[in-house]
Amino acid sequence: MRYFIHLSYNGTNFCGWQIQPNEPSVQETIEKALFFILKEKLNITGCGRTDTGVHALNYYAHFDFKEMTNDELDKLKYRLNSFFSYEIRIISIKKVRDDAHARFDAISRTYKYYIATQKQPFNNEFTYFFSRPLNIEKMNNASEKLLTYTDFTSFSKLHTQVNNNNCTINFAYWEKKDDLLVFTINANRFLRNMVRSIVGTMIEVGLEKISIDEFCKIIEEKNRSLAGVSVAAKALFLNEIEYPKEVYDY
């Protein structure tokens, strides 16, 4: 029987979702907890990688185990949450189809990035402080241009193990909320460091260091060295994952 774990996590003290040598990961932490509780070594497959320090409000992973009742699943959720510190929260554990896949069945993913325009004494852990004035209108113009491209090599970490750097971006926009500038982007998939390097490049657009045409040229050149720096991971959140309803038909 296959199960989806729906969870959220604070990525500050993790090297990301995926297991890495000699570094704490969310995946390893959950697998150890499941082994302790269920007395069986289980491999968990996540909906995607998140970089070191990146957070997830909604994350999904799947694992296979014998059939459990709803009461048993509720107890497992309770025991897992008791096992973890505040950094990980298990929201639900649900039965899914035997061929359901947390990564490959995902229709879309939504990320949010938070820039603080004023110092955040109580929210510094989750925002990127940038006090210089930014032209949000031009940054939104650049956001619209993203939808006209599919190859985002210029915004990808080099030497990653993927077949291609093509992504379909469904929407992307900036909005101002009090002292925060929030970037929201939704796509069928994301490359490593993609959102953070897009934000870093858009900051240059907002500072009017580069034009919209130059922003487009950076994408078209497919050269990571032409794009802006990757901004701090601490302000990036995986916000939503969308699945087809059929995943839960079992």
Catalytic residues: 51
> Tokens 């070594």 identify what position?
41
Instruction: Region of 164 please: left (phi>0), alpha (psi -120 to 50) or beta.
Output: beta
Q: Could you write out the DSSP letters of every residue in 116-170?
A: ESS--TTTGGG-EE--S---HHHHHHHHHHHTT--B-GGGS-TT-S-S--B--EE
**Is 83 in contact with 33 (CB distance < 8 Å)?**
yes
Partners of 55 in the beta sheet?
237
| CA–CA separation, 241 and 47 (whole Å) | 8
Question: How far, in Å, CA of 87 to CA of 14, rounded?
Answer: 9
Residue 159 makes CB contacts below 8 A (sequence gap 6+) with none
Rounded Cα distance between 178 and 191, Å, is 30
Which residue do the tokens 């359901």 mark?
100
Beta strands in 15-54 (DSSP E): 45-46
CA 148 to chain centroid: 22
Sign of torsion over alpha carbons 158, 165, 171, 248? negative
